[in-house]
Amino acid sequence: VPVILSSRRYVAGGQCKSTAKLDGKVVIITGANTGIGKETARDLARRGKVIVACRDVAKGEAAASEIRAETGNQQVIVKKLDLANTKSIREFAENFLAEEKELHILINNAGVMLYPYSKTADGFEMHLGVNHLGHFLLTFLLLERLKQSAPARIVNVSSLAHHGGRIRFHDLHGDKSYNRGLAYCHSKLANVLFTRELARRLQGKSHRRAEFTANSLHPGSVRSELVRHSSVMTWLWKVFSFFLKTPSEGAQTSVYCAVAEELDSVTGQYFSDCQPAYVSPRGRDDETAKKLWRVSCELLGIQWD
């Protein structure tokens, strides 16, 4: 039993020890109706106001009412956001900006994984479109409100899978060749590069650089619905479930990046198990990061200097 308990503790990984309260603060979490996002929302709802941004409003409401009942916080609000559709992203941002005067924490958590080849409403490959471009646009649209509310934080949920990714500028949407496992890896590398370039730009613009940070993270291998598009992975996840984190354990690093006091002036970093982690050489390539930024702006038809 001690061996089992200690190995389980090892699997569980780092825990966020911060008791920071978010009184009067507003948090947006994308994809917060299930898995890691839901557990992140559950934790942060004990601290402040949480906006659950998700595609399936009915699922979102079910999650939110459970969290409201458990935490006693009525300020857990569901808003529709479909990251596979830029029109939906713009509508979400417009409504949010009209209703909320402040935004302190944006957690770009939602994601698709191992999706069979398909395109978003705007013709982007699904992994790149949802995991990277959707969050890129959302962050762009909410940036001024975050700046006005400083100190503010942007948290991008990436993955260890970024080590297997590369940005294939010659075939971004997988029209020439497509592998859904690699497509996921590419999109997670894009999260790391976006975070890096965003942090660099924010540092350059802000006199009080500690006031505004952007970090990315690997939540760990988590028992979640993320593998639902692959029957093989679903089976493997069941077989090895003992060696996977629970969604609550998987949410720890997201919560840590969102609230930990010691990260007040830390930006452009990548975390795993509530501590800095190794980034692949491709994830540290500033030229690729700058080019990805430019190309993302072109694809989305925005100017973000």
- Active-site positions read 184
Contacting residues for 198 by C-beta, under 8 A, at least 6 apart: 139, 154, 214, 268
Cβ atoms of 141 and 86 closer than 8 Å: no
Cβ–Cβ under 8 Å, residues 273 and 250: no
Note whether 142 and 93 are within 8 A (CB).
yes
Spatial strand order in the sheet of 76-80: 76-80, 48-54, 22-30, 105-108, 152-157, 212-218, 270-272, 275-276
User: How many CB atoms neighbour CB 97 within 10 A?
Assistant: 14
Residue 118 in tokens: 């398909």
Question: 3-state class of 278 per DSSP?
Answer: coil
Q: Could you give the CA distance from residue 266 to residue 193 in angstroms, rounded to a whole number? A: 16
